[in-house]
Structure 1
Amino acid sequence: MKILTLAVMLVISTAVAAQTKAQTTTEVKKAVAVELKGDAAAGAGKVAVCMACHGEKGRMPNSPIYPRLAGQSSEYLKSSLHAYRDGLRQGGMAAMMSPQTATLSDQDIVDIAAYYSQQ
């Protein structure tokens, strides 16, 4: 019985530690992103790959499964791009988006978010 209890406690503590680490990582990345200023003009030069699915200027996606990015909140876009890049989003379009965002820097993300939020 003691071994079973210890095993359950170990599993729970490991899960809590992993969740805490993910939350801390996300909080740190959000804090860094908040400090960066997005440049929409620079973002315009970083969205060529995005247009393949989301359409020119993010206004007309090429399929109903892709969201319209134009006019979305900059905070929402930054949060989404960080989550895809950092592997925190696993469902839905993560299989498509995670590789697209893997090489984006924090500055790239705030620039892209600024660009699409102003369309």
Structure 2
Amino acid sequence: MKLTLQIKLLPIEEQALSLLNTIRTCNIVCNRISDIAWEKKEFNQYRLHHLVYHQTRDSSNLSAQIVVRCISKVINAYKAGKKKKRVFKPLGAITYDSRVLSYKGNTASVWSIDGRLRIGFV
């Protein structure tokens, strides 16, 4: 069962910058993955994963789960059509799952390129 929760994070300035940098980095990586998918005409998630995963992990400071989410984002974008190369905006949304984002009490624990951030929310 999927659970959708709409909350407002209350990060301090340093945490907000870290989250923005994480989103920017993820979208840069998504664009690199999209370049490879487009060049190789590979739009199958399993095969694309094997093409780009280790290279992406070695060349970025993203966690394994975030790399998997980036591959998934690229594949989902190409499901809309494969006639045009997909390009991701610098602040495009990234998907968080239970390995990347968790809650305890009134604090969210969010993975970022600077490590886990514990951020209050309402």
TM-score (norm 1): 0.29
Q: Quick check: which one's helix share is greater?
A: 1
Which has more strand, going by share of residues?
2
Bigger-Rg structure (1/2): 1
TM-score by length of 2: 0.28
